[in-house]
Structure 1
Amino acid sequence: MEQAEELYLQGNAAYEDGQLVHAFRSYEAASALGHPDATNNLADMYLHGEYVGKNTKRAFQLFLVAAKAGVHEAMFTLGLLCENGIGVVVAPEQAYFWYHRSAKYQDSLAQYRLGSIYYEGLLNKKRNVAKALYWYGLAAQQGHLDAQYNLGYIYNNEQDEYVDYAKGRFWYKEAARQGDVLACRRLEEIYEIGLGTKVDKQKAHYWGEQAAQFECMRGENNE
């Protein structure tokens, strides 16, 4: 296994230097020796067509090998592939299975996708807001911005039993502190009209200014 690890590290170094041929061959050799992380990286190169021709079916097969060996990044990617029908037919149940496996490793991306599966009703065509809140909550606690925004939205806009304006403001603020423009705009509206709280023009102005600032920064970064 020492040889496999050495080849894997060589592959990482080559990839970082942009030497894709060397990286591919190193990962391929390490994968053949049973190195799970090398197999995952090799799958990623097939998925994106880096050096080798894009081959989503081969990528899926390799991700499956890596996932079964315990690589949670591969588990998450399998979830994405199954959900979107890449390299395999669309399979929501399999997507859920792999996201759930990955989420056990505290993968916030997988937790977020599970929340979306439940909220959008992708599994058995039934929405489950309570379970969506649970999984979004786990992801949000780890700093997942979209999960934080979605919690803010649900707590402010869902059916009465799920409405909690204080929690909604809290999660919008968490997302806003990470530079989310929409969260800032929602907070501006909340304080402007007094949704679940008293009208506060000063706070409304503050969050409007924050939104404008983040929009300006985003524009500068895109130049």
Structure 2
Amino acid sequence: MARSVYSAVVAAGLFGASGGAHAFDTNAAKPEKSSPWAVFQRGFDAYKSGHKDEAVEAYRYAAENGQIGATWKLARMYAEGDGVKRNDYEAFKFFNEIVAQDVEPGSPEESYISDALVALGGYLKNGIPGSVEPNPVAAQEFYMRAAANYRNAEAQYEMGKMFLKGEGGMKASVRQAGRWLQLAAAKGHAGAQATLGNLLFESGKVVRGLAMMTAALERASPHDQPWIRGMQEQAFALAGEADRRTAIALAEDMLAQGANP
């Protein structure tokens, strides 16, 4: 299914000839006969030293010569505007190059494929203005591949949210959403823990749900803290005093034990 989506994206003309990787000046940047892996390592050293322009050129050469890790680094740099001007479409194309490799689960390179699938899911879910139209169905297929084949926690979390809202051509199902959220939460995904906690709270499991949201808030990244805090505070305001105290104690136990609820 994911292959058909990839073919459809190509057929739709999303991969124009412009903006592709340029040839790397092998004479200027490396001795002759250096392997792509050696150039990739030089690029990584340049990146760590703050010479990101040199890193980009090294990564381009290594990527053009089959180094999937170099392709992933380029994709991430363009996606985050790290050392280059942010360009989501360039990142989108590099991520697609990675996914086209179709690396088998268990391969040393599976983390690159897994991350690229999640990134493509996000781009297709939201679209890229002027380049890629939103396509929730295609997004769901990429998320599903990462969630099921590579057990990616972020993809499992995204699947849970899509089942909650009935997105991506799927019928809304709290049960299916809970299944995916549990898988992500067990891996320590704070967003999944908070969302699952809210579901438990709304289903009447007040203490457990509130405790999970409270623990998730402490574990969450700065990016996720605002929405988790809003959800937790709303639930906290609705809970009785006894339930609040019990939930706080349970959350402290979860955090102290490092437990993933």
TM-score range, shorter chain: 0.7 to 0.9
Instruction: Assess if the C-alpha contact under 8 Å between 1:175 and 1:183 holds in 2.
Output: no
1:167-186 correspondence runs (5 A):
167-169=208-210, 171-176=212-217, 178=219, 181-182=229-230, 185=233, 186=235
Residues 191, 18 of structure 1: alpha-carbon distance in 2 compared, 3 angstrom cutoff: farther
Shift of 1:9: 2.0
**Whole-Å Cα distance in 2 between the matches of residues 124 and 30 of structure 1?**
38
| CA RMSD, Structure 1 to Structure 2 (Å) | 2.8
Number of positions where the alignment pairs a residue of Structure 1 with one of Structure 2:
196
1:59-84 residue CA offsets vs partner (Å, 9 max, x unmatched)? 21211111222321111111111111
Instruction: Evaluate the alpha carbon distance shift between residue 200 and residue 127 of structure 1 in structure 2; reply closer, same or farther with a 3 A threshold.
Output: closer
Q: Which of 51, 66, 86 lines up with 1:34 in the alignment?
A: 66
What 5-or-longer segments of structure 2 have no aligned partner? 1-33, 104-112, 221-227, 253-261
Deviation at 1:174, TM superposition (A): 3.8
TM-score, normalised via structure 1 length? 0.75
Equivalent residue, structure 2, for 1:214: none
Deviations 1:180-219 (A, max 9, x none): 6457643574342xxxxxx357547x57xx9xxxxxxxxx
- Asked if residue 75 in structure 1 is aligned to residue 124 in structure 2, the reply is no
Q: CA deviation at 1:178?
A: 2.7
CA 202–94 in structure 1, closer or farther in 2 if over 3 Å, else same: closer
8 A contact 1:140–1:147 mirrored in 2: yes
Instruction: State which of 49, 53, 57 in structure 2 corresponds to 1:17.
Output: 49
CA 175–188 in structure 1, closer or farther in 2 if over 3 Å, else same: farther
Is contact 1:8–1:38 with CA below 8 Å preserved after alignment? yes
Residue type of the partner of 1:62? F
Compute the TM-score of the two structures, normalised by the length of structure 2: 0.65
Per the alignment, residue 118 of structure 1 pairs with 163
1:2-151 equivalent positions in 2, closer than 5 A: 3-69=35-101, 70=103, 71-86=113-128, 87-103=131-147, 104-124=149-169, 126-151=171-196
Q: Is the 8 A contact 1:118 1:131 kept in 2?
A: yes
Q: Which has the higher contact order (CA 8 A, sep 6+)?
A: 2
CA distance in 2, matches of 1:96, 1:157: 26
Secondary structure of 2:239's partner?
Answer: helix
